Structure formats: structure tokens, C-alpha cells
Amino acid sequence: MKNSSADVNITKEEILKGLENREFRFFYQPMVTFATGEVSGAEALIRWIRPDGTIIPPDRFIPLAEEEGIITRITRAMIPVLEEDLGKILGQKQSLQISLNLSGKDIEQGEFCDYFVNEIREKALPAENLTVEITERTILNLDKTTRNFLVSLVSRGVRVAVDDFGIGFSSFDNLSILPLASLKIDQNIIRKAAFWAKALTILDHLVNLAHQLYLTSVAEGVENESMYRYLCQLGCDQMQGYLISPALPRDEFLRFIREETRVIGTNPLGGIYNAIVDHANLVRRIVSLLNYPNTLPDMSDLDHTRCGLGRWLHLADQVLNGNSQFEFLKVVHREFHEQAKFLVLAAHENKDRESLVQHASEMLKVSARVYDLLTSLFEEFVLKDLI
């Protein structure tokens, strides 16, 4: 296959003809989860493959299609293509998450939204494997149709990601009211961070912001190993970029996930750091809410699998299983949650001050052991990294 030369102008009529002839395909760019170092999904990226084998990239026709008002005809025509591809991809690995880009113009249209939700309702599109990407620019201009559409997707199990995050369009208010799952940090920020200290600080803050909002952070456009390692140590959750692979034709992507199980490897430092912060936050939240019994967490919120540390323990188990401090941490962490439940229950039951203090002190003792184990794991991996 050849890549197109950029100087040939494309027209609306050519795009429509190409659609009629089914010349559009998705290529799949692998996405890696840092905690395991494994491919956990892919982003579907459209390509126009002309009869002579020339591949036209999306930047050459998507903006024109949006301008000419035909983008939704393209998106609509690509859904059955995606459905067929997903059959093959998930047939090979059931747990993969596939991301689809939707244009702001698509989700403004009630008819398209109804069609899309219907495909999910009928299970032609598997909700639990699907992430919909909308750009930061789109979420700034949310109207009621769009918001209802996103809420209805999420209620059916689809994840929503904000694409190109951090380039200045998004409103923090929308970030808090929308049911988002992830923030994809714009490639320009990643690129600048490689040689500009201030951009690196911004990158740190974006990853932390995502984490504090319980969103998955995804770094795009990672091209070299030092950035990969940096992001991993920072506690970023996922990445995609030429370092791992460009977008691949479907069958090549299938081969890729068969052959590349661990891509570069992983370093748990970032995960441990996040776990320390999450644990500190949980303890602080429980203790500071003791004076406001109506706002205390539910018992189910205190389940050991639901807190940030618990979710990290589950994910990191694939890699750290067998490490003695890690195994011990799992046990002590459960014990912490038991003590936290006793304390919160005592507060719910309006027990006297003295017994609250007693329970709080028991919980804090176990919490101190959790920190000890987390910090010695942290030390262990800092030293390993330096050797």
C-alpha cells in the first residue's frame, strides 16, 4: 500500500463515491496499560483506501467532511464495519477495549444518537468493550441532546473519553458533571514535555487531575522509551504511540495482539505513588467526615476492592504477585478496611466520643502499617530502577 501525496485536492463527491464503494476501513492503534505493560485495547482510526491502494489519512478528508455536512454519513457507514471488526478482535481477546472517535457533528444529531444507542441496545455493539472518544472542544459546547446521549451510553456500560485534553478548550464544570471515564492527554503536550520543563510540569498535573477525578489518564503520541518510562513512573494509566505501534490494518492488529504479550515492561512506582495518595485521601475523608454523620460513606463504599489502593492491588497483582511485601500489603489492606467499617458504623450509630476515638485509633494503627508497606515497596522499586 502507498501513502497519498498531500497535494491532490479531495472533493465531497469523491468522498461520497468512496463511501458507496466501501473504500473506508478502520486501522487499529494498540493501547498499553502501564500497570501490566500489556496491550489492553486499541483506537480505531479511519483510513480511506483508494482502488489503486493509496491510503488517505483522516486529516485529509475528515475536516472537509465536517465542513460539507457529510461526516455523519461516514460515521454511520463505518458502524457496521466496526461491528464486523469487533467480532474478529474480541473473538481473539475478549477483554480488549476499543475506542471509536465520534465527531461533535455526529452527536448533535438526534437521529444518529438514536441509531447508535439502538445498536448498543441490540448488542450489535458490545457496550462493555467500547469507548467513545469526543474532543475537548466538543464537550465545551454540550447541548441537551449530546449530554443525554452520553448519559445514555454510560448507563449502558460504554465509556466516554475526552480526546485531545489539555489544549485549553475544556470547561472544568463539564468535567465534573459528565459521566467521563478517561482523559486522553493531547500529543502536543507529550511532545513538548520531552524537552521543556514547564510542559513536563503540566503533564504531571494533568495525570494527577485525571487521577483525582477518578478518570483514567491516557498519554497519546508516545514516541520514545524515556517518555514511556517517565509516564509509567508518574502513575499515568495508559499510552499509545509509535513507540509501541502505529495504527495497523485489522488483521495485522490481530497478529500484533497474538504475538506481543508484554510490550516494554512496567515499573510499579507510579502505581505505588498513586496508591499512597489514594490511601491518604481515604483516611482523611473518613476522619474529616466523622463530624458529619449524614455525609459518611456507605458501608459498600468501604469495600476493600473499591478504593484506589484496592483497585491498584488488583491490577498490579498480575505483575507483583509473589513479592512478599506486596502479598503482606494485600492482607493488611483488608484489615484496614475492616477497621474503617467498624469506625464508620460506630459513627452511624452515634456511639459516644470515647468509642469513636478508640475505633479511629485502631484504624490509624493499621493505616500506618499500610503506609509502611507501601513506602518500602516504593523504596524497593526506586533502588531496582537505579541499579
List of residues contacting ligand C2E (CB under 6 A): 29, 45-46, 57-59, 62, 101, 103, 163-164, 220-223, 240-242, 246-247
Q: Rounded to the nearest whole angstrom, what is the least distance from the CB of residue 387 to Ca ion in the complex? A: 36
Q: How far apart are CA 60 and CA 49, in angstroms?
A: 12
> Is 38 or 163 the residue whose CB approaches Ca ion more closely?
163
Look-up of cell digits 483516611: 283
Q: How far apart are CA 380 and CA 325, in angstroms?
A: 10
> Is 38 or 220 the residue whose CB approaches ligand C2E more closely?
220
Beta bridge partners of 2: 54
237 contacts which partner out of Ca ion, ligand C2E, none, CB within 5 to 8 A by kind? none
3-state secondary structure at position 11 = coil
45 contacts which partner out of Ca ion, ligand C2E, none, CB within 5 to 8 A by kind? ligand C2E
Q: How far apart are CA 332 and CA 338, in angstroms?
A: 10
Q: Are 183 and 214 in contact (CB under 8 A)?
A: no
Q: Rounded to the nearest whole angstrom, what is the least distance from the CB of residue 62 to ligand C2E in the complex? A: 5
Count of residues of this chain found to bind Ca ion when the rule CB under 5 A is applied: 5
Compute CA distances 110 → 119, 142, 146, 149, 324, whole Å: 14, 13, 8, 8, 55
Task: Read off the C-alpha cell for 11.
Answer: 472533493
> Is 82 or 117 the residue whose CB approaches ligand C2E more closely?
82
* 94 CB burial (10 A radius; 0-12, 13-18, 19+): exposed
> Residue from 33, 101, 103, 267 that binds Ca ion (CB under 5 A)?
101
Does residue 133 belong to the site contacting Ca ion (CB under 5 A)? yes
* Count of CB atoms situated within 10 Å of the CB of 192: 15
> Residue from 106, 136, 163, 237 that binds Ca ion (CB under 5 A)?
163
> Is 219 or 302 the residue whose CB approaches Ca ion more closely?
219
Q: Rounded to the nearest whole angstrom, what is the least distance from the CB of residue 197 to ligand C2E in the complex? A: 21
Q: Rounded to the nearest whole angstrom, what is the least distance from the CB of residue 57 to ligand C2E in the complex? A: 4
> Is 74 or 302 the residue whose CB approaches ligand C2E more closely?
74
> Is 85 or 163 the residue whose CB approaches Ca ion more closely?
163
3-state secondary structure at position 134 = strand
Q: Contact letters (x/-) for Ca ion, 174-213, by CB under 5 A? A: ----------------------------------------
> Is 190 or 257 the residue whose CB approaches Ca ion more closely?
190
> Is 164 or 278 the residue whose CB approaches ligand C2E more closely?
164
Q: Which stretch binds Ca ion (CB under 5 A): 53-61, 156-164, 208-216, 260-268?
A: 156-164
Question: Which residue in 210, 212, 136, 207 sits closest to 169, CA to CA?
Answer: 136
Does residue 164 belong to the site contacting Ca ion (CB under 5 A)? yes
Start-to-end Cα distance in the chain: 45
Binding to Ca ion (CB under 5 A) within 329-368 occurs at none
* Phi and psi angles of residue 7, each rounded to the nearest 5 degrees, phi first: -85, 0
Long-range contacts of residues 151-156, Cβ cutoff 8 Å, at least 24 apart: 151/179, 152/113, 152/117, 153/116, 153/117, 153/120, 153/127, 154/179, 154/181, 156/117, 156/120, 156/121, 156/127
221 contacts which partner out of ligand C2E, Ca ion, none, CB within 5 to 8 A by kind? ligand C2E
Residues that bind Ca ion (CB under 5 A): 101, 133, 163-164, 220
